[in-house]
Amino acid sequence: MPAGESLLNRVLTVRGLADSSQVDGFLTPSMADTHDPGLLPGIDAAAARLVEAVRNDEPIVIYGDYDVDGITATSILWHVIRTVAPAAQLRSYVPHRLEEGYGLNAEALRSLADEGAAVVVTVDCGITAIEEAELAGELNLDLIITDHHTPATDDGGIVHLPAAHSIVHPGVPGSDYPTNDLCGAGVAFKLACRFARTWCGSERVSTALQHVLTDSLSLVALGTIADVMPLTGENRVLAGLGLRRIRSTKLAGLQALIEASGLAGEDIDTEGVGFRLAPRLNAAGRMGHAADAVELLTEADGARAEHIATALCSFNDDRQRTEREILDQAVEMARAAGMTDPGRRIIVLAHPDWHAGVLGIVCSRLVERFGRPAILMQEVDGLCRGSARSIDGYSIHDGLTACREHLVGYGGHAAAAGLSLDATQLPVFTDAITSHANEAITREDLVPWLVVDADAVLAEIEAGPVEQLDRMAPFGRGNARPRFRIRDLRITEIKPMGRDNRHLSLRLAGDGGRGVRAVWWKQGERADALADGMRVDVVARANLNRWRNNVTAELEILDLAPGSG
């Protein structure tokens, strides 16, 4: 390694950020690094129609999705409209996951029209709602679609878009927007910015709108991180600025959720969002109704916000228990069916007793465990409906498109999707999607592998250098926390830890004698294979451990092998 070069600089160089201007822009992002909302197709027409509706006191419905991305996207538009018109005829609608399913549905549109709605603006859904958009027109509803999912295509690959009043989507044909990676909350935020400027008739908006848009960045961060969007480019800027804003948020519901999640007073990063806040918001739609989560992030305050936040924590506890039960059963079924063997490169299962609300999470767990895409469905009254998750390099949306003749419906993007099919089609669909996956996924794709940023020595694992690495945050997909290979270490202590001794705490030392604590999650069963004095090489992340007034650096082991010397 170059003499005197810091851990941070070595990682930045490996990731293609050697130029000083690139490094400065990466480490100190600002809103100036984001793209002009006006580049999004349809956004001017959508903003103008919303302004017109508010000024004419027309009833507006924000039609969202039941996941974190949809919930936060709904909340963003709700707050910006309420800021300029507190008495506006504005409401939100989120379909029930189990009773209505994902996206626009005809019955909901008819009900909204009967109740007097004039404008329906979707968030995080709607781009494939061809028939529903036609119905909206028949019902005299002005339908504004904001979405980021993959549009529908015909057998020839031609994209078909709904006949809506306007469509705001970064990836539709003819779009000049520089990236397709915005999540639903990101698209909603862009529309909120355009609405604010249109309302004010100027690029400079009122102080009240500036404040609400700034506070909305925390919601964009939640949606971006929860939807596992790449934390690169504009997404990294929006998520990073939003994470900085979360602790000082003026949103009473978000404050209550932070408190209930045990994060009060802590620095909230992507892990805090991904493992604490997002699961609780998602739990509402999975185990109950996402309308509760929408209320929390929009209208709720005081005791009501605290009550909802506490209820979401309870829902999340139920979700975790249900998830574990389904995961154990799915693992057993997949192995029994040979779906975890090298010759089968996708898992496809259905069961009548599975809770549809948690199947997406269990899919993700199966992908992590077996390194292949997974599709899980609940079979009810002759219909199989569920979720799919994929691995890098294989688009599950493309796979479903190739097998759509066997499906009632589907939608999503490369990494995640939802689907439904007649139960009688399950065997033939399973064969078809398996053939598609077997052809597209190589044996090498099934082998877990780690990208290592750089070699390091144990002497570099100190609080100062490790703290510098945190300047690269937020970490996540596309911007992983740096991983280092450290060779020829000696184990000086082995301690099982956690419930049922599931994890390991090790002490590792180099030739200089200095020791560093290292944790190895979910590897408690390996304790018997290790011994004091054993020489090992590790691939690990370097983290800071803050305990009381002490800050120390430690390693999070990702892989360990006998030392190579």
pLDDT at 512 over 80: no
Q: Tell me what pLDDT residue 155 has.
A: 80
Element holding 220 (H helix, E strand)? helix 207-226
Q: Tell me what pLDDT residue 27 has.
A: 92
pLDDT at 1 over 60: no
Task: Summarize pLDDT for 530-559 with one digit per residue, the tens.
Answer: 999 999 999 999 999 888 788 899 999 999
Q: Tell me what pLDDT residue 126 has.
A: 95
- 99-108, 128-137, 295-304: lowest mean pLDDT where? 99-108
pLDDT at 199 over 80: yes
**326 near 287, Cβ under 8 Å?**
no
Q: In the chain, what is the greatest distance between 2 CA atoms, to the nearest angstrom? A: 78
Q: Tell me what pLDDT residue 218 has.
A: 98
Q: Tell me what pLDDT residue 273 has.
A: 95
Mean pLDDT, rounded, for 437-448: 90
**68 near 223, Cβ under 8 Å?**
yes
Q: Tell me what pLDDT residue 96 has.
A: 86
Mean pLDDT, rounded, for 385-392: 93
Phi, psi of 118 (to 5 degrees): -110, -40
467 residue type, one letter = E
- For 124, 296, 303, 477, 511, the CA distances from 219, given in Å and listed in that order, are 14, 12, 21, 18, 48
Mean pLDDT, rounded, for 475-501: 94
CA distance 311 to 107: 29
**257 near 281, Cβ under 8 Å?**
yes
Q: Tell me what pLDDT residue 4 has.
A: 60
What 3 state SS string does 236-249 have?
Answer: HHHHHHHHHHHCCC
pLDDT at 101 over 90: no
Phi, psi of 533 (to 5 degrees): 90, -10
Q: Tell me what pLDDT residue 446 has.
A: 86
Task: Summarize pLDDT for 56-79 with one digit per residue, the tens.
Answer: 999 999 999 999 999 999 999 999
pLDDT at 565 over 70: no
Neighbours of 241 (CB within 10 A): 20
With bands split at pLDDT 50, 70 and 90, how would you rate the model's confidence at 387?
Answer: very high
Task: Summarize pLDDT for 320-356 with one digit per residue, the tens.
Answer: 999 999 999 999 999 999 999 989 999 999 999 999 8
**388 near 375, Cβ under 8 Å?**
yes
Mean pLDDT, rounded, for 111-118: 97
With bands split at pLDDT 50, 70 and 90, how would you rate the model's confidence at 457?
Answer: very high
Q: Tell me what pLDDT residue 412 has.
A: 85
**370 near 334, Cβ under 8 Å?**
yes
Classify residue 248 as exposed, middle or buried by CB count within 10 Å of its CB (0-12, 13-18, 19+): exposed
- pTM (2 d.p.): 0.90
CA distance 98 to 385: 9
Q: Tell me what pLDDT residue 157 has.
A: 84
Share of the chain above pLDDT 90, in %: 85
228 residue type, one letter = V
**220 near 189, Cβ under 8 Å?**
yes
pLDDT at 11 over 80: yes
Mean pLDDT, rounded, for 398-416: 92
Q: Which residues contact 203 (CB under 8 A, 6 or more apart)?
A: 197
